[in-house]
Structure 1
Amino acid sequence: MIKSICKMAVFSTLLVAGVSQAEEVTLKFGYPVNEENIWHKAAMEFKRVAESQSDGRIEVKLYPSEQLGKEMEVINSIQLGTADMTITGESLQNWAPKAALLAVPYAFTSSEQLQAAVNGEVGMEISEQIVERTGLQPIAWFERGPRHLTSNRPIMSPDDLNGLKLRVPNVPLFVKLWEALGAKPIPMAFSEVFTSLQQGTIDGQENPLSLINSASFYEVQEYVNLTGHVRSWIYVVIGQEQLNSMPADLRSIVLDAAQQMQEYEHSMFASDEAQLRATLEERGMTFVNPDLEAFRSAAQRAVQEALTAEQLELFEKI
């Protein structure tokens, strides 16, 4: 009798373990860029690795071009459990103030300096606060090309910004910066920018070359003013609850796939930047070299005034 009970217990244990191992996970991964952008290509690599390493137990559903909603909407959906992953950056400062340092004007002057910050104490502090306050877990990071200003007139110095209606993301520091430089910043969802430029609701916008190209801004903007005002990085994040609820083996596969995605994106970054400029020039945009020192000087004053004491402390570490 005892032997039979023991056999049943062993069988039950194996059955439970088998069910756990057979568990399947679906990850809904939404982001703002379209299929031409290298972030989408990196997301495809994540999908390939996660699905192949898990023998199909992980299914990754990709939703480019804001199919799951605008950036803040997707973040809220992850927090509610109706989406799982996204690509996001300085917008997280709405919960975690240190995330503002992901995109501080003229904080970084080279890729090497930026990478040292991300992989060092600065990146650790930012990541920890994101985890603590948002319910999101950064699992990879991408370097972003410098943000440049586009317009329908050349911008050589901050004086040329007077009265320019400029779309900015919903980031308080960006609003304060462009106000200090003389423009009229208008926070707006990325998906609304093209139509607003087309209709004249705004006069310009600022983004990396990758987004200028993938969003077809060359159809409604004539100039790329190489202000290079923000050199930054962005995180791929997953909901903490979603990640922690996975079986350990699938969680490990997701984290490994994220690292491979990161390496894949990094390998494409430099050559992509050079190709993007050539492509935009072919599509009719004129590149302008403004007075960077004038922009940098005015920006630094605005940054010092806009950052909190906590943010300034981290800025000094950069």
Structure 2
Amino acid sequence: MKKSINTLLMLSLILIMVAVPTLASTVTLRLGHLSNTDHLWHKACLKLAEEVKERTDGVVKVEIFPNEILGSERETLEGIRIGAADMTITGETLGNWAPKVGILGAMYLFRDSEHINKIASGPIGEEIEQDILDKANMRVLTWFERGPRYLTSNRPIRTPEDAKGLKMRVPNVPWFIKGWQEIGANPAPMAFSEVFTALQQGVMDAQENPLALIDSAKFYEVQDYVNLTGHIRQWIYLVIGEDQYQNLTADQQKALQTAADIAHDYHQKLFFKQQDELRASLEDKGMEFIEADNAAFREKVNNLVYEEFPEYIDLYERIQAVK
């Protein structure tokens, strides 16, 4: 009897010793972002988490915190740098550490989605990602295209001449302010939460945003036209702290990258479908879509980078040269 008990104790001890390393080897990556749970970015993150779990047999878990639960975009980036977070979705804010990211805010830099894909997935994209790694100590896993920004108004805006003197709200971003001034409009920064009332009361004549925000903010109630200026086209990055990435095994790194590639394709498919649906929805709500002379608008801002942002001239010209 005593021998049996000793044998059972020995087997229990062995099982515990086997189990402890397995538990200790599990990894949880905290991914914080600013979007709500209905947003495409969040859906792409869920896809990423699902793929990572499957490809690592549950050893690596991606825990997602939407709605700025881990803090604002900048706060989450700071959190990654000190280990309080691991991953996030981020754009030009990274320019505070990696200057080359700032080029993404340039007006009329990208012609269309095909141009974006060639840059983001090509040598220039790799160069920007290397700048992020070298300067911010963060590794880019993939990128997601953002909806083009369009101008809404209560009169059709087809040419720069039509925009002359237009009182319009813009975010407090130098590219936006300088660019619309060059076009001839009268741009003014304003908190997004105040825009609807400003348009309703005539304090502002116009504003610019992607279709998703035009719809969710109900600008169709106070604006008649969506002018297809497409003045800003860009992407946003899914990043992980380099220290956190290096703490993963080689197989786990491979699984994470594969999952990110799948999440990218998943997002892009949803993105293009959503753009079509948003246009149809806004048209149903009474907004008219106006084709804009984008070549004329682009000509107005062509010299902006040379005059105001000389640090981006080389990168700007190389991006423009890609056909």
Deviations 1:166-212 (A, max 9, x none): 232x5432332233334454556xxx51x211332765443322343
User: C-alpha displacement at 1:269, in angstroms?
Assistant: 3.0
Paired residues of 1:196 and 1:202 also in contact (CA < 8 A): no
**Gapped runs of 5+ residues in structure 2?**
1-13
Moved more, 258-267 or 77-86: 77-86
Q: Distance in 2 between matches of 1:187 and 1:67?
A: 26
Is 1:283–2:281 an aligned residue pair? Answer: no
Residue in structure 1 matched with residue 194 of structure 2 by the alignment: 196
Is 1:133–2:131 an aligned residue pair? Answer: no
Is 1:98–2:96 an aligned residue pair? Answer: no
**Gapped runs of 5+ residues in structure 1?**
1-11
Where does 1:93-242 land on structure 2 (aligned, <5 Å)?
93-159=95-161, 160=163, 162=165, 164-168=167-171, 171-186=173-188, 193=192, 195-200=193-198, 204-219=206-221, 221-242=223-244
Q: Distance in 2 between matches of 1:265 and 1:199?
A: 33
Q: 2:80 pairs with 78, 81, 105, which one?
A: 78
Paired residues of 2:169 and 2:195 also in contact (CA < 8 A): no
The residue type paired with residue 36 of structure 1 is D
Q: What is the number of equivalent residue pairs in this alignment? A: 301
TM-score, normalised relative to structure 2: 0.80
User: C-alpha displacement at 1:140, in angstroms?
Assistant: 0.5
Q: Distance in 2 between matches of 1:41 and 1:250?
A: 22
Residue in structure 1 matched with residue 34 of structure 2 by the alignment: 32
Deviations 1:108-145 (A, max 9, x none): 22322222222222111111111111122110011223
Q: Distance in 1 between matches of 2:85 and 2:154?
A: 38
User: C-alpha displacement at 1:34, in angstroms?
Assistant: 2.7
Q: Secondary structure at the match of 1:99?
A: helix
Give the root-mean-square deviation of aligned CA atoms.
3.0
Higher gyration radius (CA):
2
TM-score, normalised relative to structure 1: 0.81
User: C-alpha displacement at 1:161, in angstroms?
Assistant: 5.1
The residue type paired with residue 264 of structure 1 is Y
Paired residues of 2:170 and 2:176 also in contact (CA < 8 A): no
What percentage of aligned pairs have identical amino acids? 42
Q: Secondary structure at the match of 1:145?
A: coil
Deviations 1:63-93 (A, max 9, x none): 3333333322222222232222222222322
Distance change (3 Å), C-alpha of 1:223 and 1:86: farther
Q: Distance in 2 between matches of 1:99 and 1:158?
A: 28
User: C-alpha displacement at 1:58, in angstroms?
Assistant: 2.7
Distance change (3 Å), C-alpha of 1:289 and 1:131: same
